[in-house]
Structure 1
């Protein structure tokens, strides 16, 4: 019965992707909501606490986006308003030039850099706490999308430049849904309609060959390949979350680096919301002999980025003493094992905003119609519930990361090499989660 249910579920998902209404039925409402959010951020109430655009962006969308990536892969990327704008620009004024070689080679590194830069800029200029700042950030991203869509083919921005796409790629590897071609059928196909496109739908916007695709990092479930495949070869199926991480054939340093960078960013986001952050700033200021808060934060930010990366490299060096790979190769292979813990820490942090400030969506939405709820609590549940869910997420992420490290080691080494490799990464994972637990024990400040 379970197998039959899975087959029916897979067929249902496939039928949805094949429908002529998909993904447009989701794209256009999302684009309209995006337009409302942009209006509110740029010309609405200038106070974040009362701004509907701020609530929608930072209390709802940003907190749940990691969960979307885990449950349904890069589905968001199929309906993302930036992607829709890119498609429209390309349709009417696009030159459809080939992607520059430097973007193909360094795209993920650029994504890593943008992710770090935007996080740094948020804390320096208070983007999240400022509706106008958030609006300007979205305008800048929209400008980049329009330029990329006007000059280059397909979704160049989404594949090689979007910092959210980088996050999506990492988390989707651990996701519970996958789209694949059937090897036996695809091996006999010589038309490559899934990549090139047909009159039914464009070719893969993410420059993927679905018939040979072996990972979910860049599949956005747009459904174009399902519509185009002449042999009905494409399958959509559920899988064990994190399973893809166990058998990555071509690990990339830049993707593992992003995984450890996300860990550092989560640390920064947590620490700067704590009451103890004031004491940390004063201490760093005294060491540097400066009162400049921008300099102080920048130094703290660099330290928060560097410590997890250096710790992972040290762990990889220790593992290299027990296996046949050098430290850099171990860093590249086992950085992926941290993705489940990344997700858990990221989602645990976001739960605070979603659950402690969730009613602000209702309050700011009603305020658009002149209905005010002054003094009402924005919390959806009590802090005890939030803390319990945070610890549950961290526990699941810890187990998943340790098990992923074990499976990666088992697929690459034999005998004592496996145990000798897993132990250092287990210790690293436990140390990282212990620090996360400590941070979540401390009181945090609200955004709304």
Structure 2
């Protein structure tokens, strides 16, 4: 089933059709967010499924069926079911300056700035999806392979950051066999520009399975590993990844304040883009995301480095301790999503019955009144998620540290952030 392209193609084609319908519903349907398919199924169904299931259990599994790069890849490969090969359109190399996670960081900062309106205004959601779709297609016609997925997509950056923790991984059965195979077919067909025998992290592997299909010796497998297997070292993590991880920590807390907190005025301010109050919000958001939280982490690393007997360059130290950010970041997003989805999921069935808000009643559920609320079970599960993330990060800090004293500032950072999220989510 994995070797055949048909199951994957059918899934991607169906999701592409749903993607196009979502864009149309955003433009043509009711502009009341709770009555529009685009808002409910993108930001409640898909976004929740991505953070609760796809990423923690499947890593980059969503990337393997994502419809956004599909038309561009068809044009690039000159065929629908073709992989990369001699017929592939030649493209430019992606600029070396941007072969990192800085563009996804910038994209997520923009989403954080305008998140309130993106998550509530159907037409804005449609413009965002259409913009990503057109950008991915355009870049596929200019640059080789999946430049958009690897270096631009903010969702791809988010997924890749936490894919390091997930079980699925592409691996080589016999490395010695690869050394004898000089053609390197797996690298030639890979749209993610990865060479499986040298693959040290799942962050940049899109699980497209083209390498598995192309290997003439059946020497590549899709395997499962223990959760968090790349910790504590988080192979190939760079300074850009650390900054992206810090951005994810900050935006998880800010989104919790805006969308779940008792301060309704903050959501109103975030929604009134361009007003004096919004500029204060935007400046505060930037200050927290780009200055205060990174500065706090930098201070923590500086203290840990002073204690550590074996000294690194300070830049290397920032990266060295970076893996502690991954478990608390992912579980914080999961806890936030669980709380958000539990209060909004009751909108799904009415919107299925009337996806455009035109007064249809296809399933007889249009008049079903949403009654979503946070249950005691949901609160307990959020607590367990945050506690589990803190425990995993603590164990990672312990393994990275040479002594208990060295780990104390790292544990203080973990405890402080976890306590803030617990307070924001549970009160």
Q: Does 1:154 align with 2:145?
A: yes
Residue 278 (structure 2) aligned to one of 286, 290, 294: 294
Q: Under a length normalisation based on structure 2, what TM-score does the superposition of the two structures give?
A: 0.89
Residue 396 (structure 1) aligned to one of 379, 383, 388: 388
Report what 1:100 is aligned to: 94
Judging changes above 3 Å, is the alpha-carbon distance between structure 1 residues 108 and 280 closer, same or farther for their aligned structure 2 residues?
closer
Residue 304 (structure 1) aligned to one of 269, 279, 288: 288
Residue 36 (structure 1) aligned to one of 21, 31, 38: 21
Report what 1:278 is aligned to: 265
Q: Does 1:405 align with 2:394?
A: no
Report what 1:245 is aligned to: 231
Asked whether the 8 Å contact 1:17–1:221 carries over to 2, the reply is no
Q: Does 1:360 align with 2:347?
A: yes
Instruction: Name which of structure 1's ranges 170-179 and 302-311 shifts more when overlaid on structure 2.
Output: 302-311
Secondary structure of 2:231's aligned partner: helix
Asked whether the 8 Å contact 1:281–1:297 carries over to 2, the reply is no
Residue 328 (structure 2) aligned to one of 338, 341, 359: 341
Query: Residue 402 of structure 1: CA displacement?
Result: 1.2
Q: Does 1:419 align with 2:380?
A: no
Q: Distance in 1 between matches of 2:374 and 2:17?
A: 33
Query: Residue 426 of structure 1: CA displacement?
Result: 1.1
Report what 2:84 is aligned to: none
Judging changes above 3 Å, is the alpha-carbon distance between structure 1 residues 234 and 421 closer, same or farther for their aligned structure 2 residues?
farther
Judging changes above 3 Å, is the alpha-carbon distance between structure 1 residues 248 and 272 closer, same or farther for their aligned structure 2 residues?
closer
Q: Distance in 2 between matches of 1:232 and 1:366?
A: 47
Q: Does 1:186 align with 2:178?
A: yes
Instruction: Name which of structure 1's ranges 94-103 and 48-57 shifts more when overlaid on structure 2.
Output: 94-103
Judging changes above 3 Å, is the alpha-carbon distance between structure 1 residues 279 and 256 closer, same or farther for their aligned structure 2 residues?
closer
Residue 304 (structure 2) aligned to one of 319, 335, 359: 319
Asked whether the 8 Å contact 2:94–2:144 carries over to 1, the reply is no
Please list the CA deviations of residues 71-90 of structure 1 after superposition, one character each: whole Å capped at 9, or x if unmatched.
11211111101021221232
Report what 2:128 is aligned to: 137
Judging changes above 3 Å, is the alpha-carbon distance between structure 1 residues 37 and 418 closer, same or farther for their aligned structure 2 residues?
same
Secondary structure of 1:190's aligned partner: coil
RMSD (Å), alpha carbons? 2.2
Q: Distance in 2 between matches of 1:408 and 1:251?
A: 14
Secondary structure of 1:317's aligned partner: helix
Q: Under a length normalisation based on structure 1, what TM-score does the superposition of the two structures give?
A: 0.85
Secondary structure of 1:17's aligned partner: coil
Instruction: Name which of structure 1's ranges 296-305 and 208-217 shifts more when overlaid on structure 2.
Output: 296-305
Judging changes above 3 Å, is the alpha-carbon distance between structure 1 residues 85 and 408 closer, same or farther for their aligned structure 2 residues?
farther
Query: Residue 353 of structure 1: CA displacement?
Result: 2.4
Query: Residue 174 of structure 1: CA displacement?
Result: 0.7
Judging changes above 3 Å, is the alpha-carbon distance between structure 1 residues 279 and 135 closer, same or farther for their aligned structure 2 residues?
closer
Query: Structure 1, unaligned stretches of length 5 or more?
Result: 1-15, 197-202, 283-289, 410-416, 443-448
Q: Distance in 2 between matches of 1:251 and 1:51?
A: 39
Q: Distance in 1 between matches of 2:38 and 2:30?
A: 9
Number of residue pairs matched by the alignment: 403
Q: Distance in 1 between matches of 2:209 and 2:32?
A: 40
Judging changes above 3 Å, is the alpha-carbon distance between structure 1 residues 34 and 222 closer, same or farther for their aligned structure 2 residues?
same
Q: Distance in 1 between matches of 2:76 and 2:267?
A: 48
Judging changes above 3 Å, is the alpha-carbon distance between structure 1 residues 190 and 348 closer, same or farther for their aligned structure 2 residues?
same
Query: Residue 280 of structure 1: CA displacement?
Result: 11
Q: Which runs of 4+ in 1 moved over 4 A?
A: 92-95, 279-282
Instruction: Name which of structure 1's ranges 420-429 and 368-377 shifts more when overlaid on structure 2.
Output: 368-377
Query: Structure 2, unaligned stretches of length 5 or more?
Result: 80-87
